[in-house]
Amino acid sequence: MYCLDTNIIIDIFRGDTQLQKKILGFKDRNIPFFTTCITLCELFKGAYKSKSKEKAIELITDFYKNIKILNFDLASANLFGLNCNILEKKGKKIPEVDVMVASLAMANNCILITRDIKHFKSVPNLAVEKW
C-alpha cells in the first residue's frame, strides 16, 4: 500500500504524465493508494491561495472521490508522539505536519511516496520512496 504526500498529488494535478502513468500501473495491479487527512488540509490551503480557486477545489474534490484517506486513531497518534520524541532527542527538527503524515503512513503499513525525502528520512522505521 502506498500513501501519497502532498507534493506528489500537486504534481499529478499539474500534469506530470510520468507520475500519472506510474500510479496507473500500480492501480491496474490493484495496489491501493492512500493519502492523509493532513495532506487533504494542505491541498485545500493551497487551493484557497490559488488564482483559480474553484478549479483547484474541484480538482481536490474529484481526487478525493478516488482515493482513501488515512485519519488519526490511537495508533497513529501514539506514533506521532513517539516520533516527535525520537526526532527531538536526535536534534532533528522537521515540521510537525510531516511527522503527522509519516505517523499516519506507518500506522497503516503504507510506503510514503514523496518528492521531499529530506525530512522524512529522519523518521525511524518509516518506509519512504522518492518518486
The mean per-residue pLDDT over the stretch 65-73 comes to: 95
Q: Is 17's pLDDT higher than 90? A: yes
Give the residues across from 112 on adjacent strands. Answer: 3, 128
Give the model's confidence band at 106: pLDDT under 50 very low, under 70 low, under 90 confident, else very high: very high
Instruction: Report the C-alpha gap between 127 and 95 in whole angstroms.
Output: 18
The residue among 119 and 91 whose pLDDT is bigger is 91
User: How does the average pLDDT of the chain come out, rounded?
Assistant: 96
According to the model, what pLDDT value does residue 27 have?
A: 84
Is 80 exposed, middle or buried (CB count within 10 Å of its CB: 0-12, 13-18, 19+)? buried
Is residue 119 over pLDDT 90?
Answer: no
pLDDT at 86: 97
pLDDT beyond 90 at 28: no
Q: What is the 3-state secondary structure (H, E, C) of the chain?
A: CEEECHHHHHHHHCCCHHHHHHHHHHHHCCCCEEEEHHHHHHHHHHHHHCCCHHHHHHHHHHHHCCCEEECCCHHHHHHHHHHHHHHHHHCCCCCHHHHHHHHHHHHCCCEEEECCHHHHCCCCCCCEEEC
* Domain 2-130, CATH number (from 3.40.50.1010, 1.10.3210.10, 3.40.50.20, 3.90.230.10): 3.40.50.1010
The CA R_g of the chain, rounded to the nearest whole Å, is 15
Which residues have a Cβ under 8 Å from the Cβ of 97 and sit 6 or more positions away? Answer: 38, 42
Taking the complete model, does pTM exceed 0.85, yes or no? yes
Q: pLDDT class for 115, splitting at 50, 70, 90?
A: very high
pLDDT-based confidence at residue 73 (cuts at 50, 70, 90): very high
Cell 501519497, residue located: 4
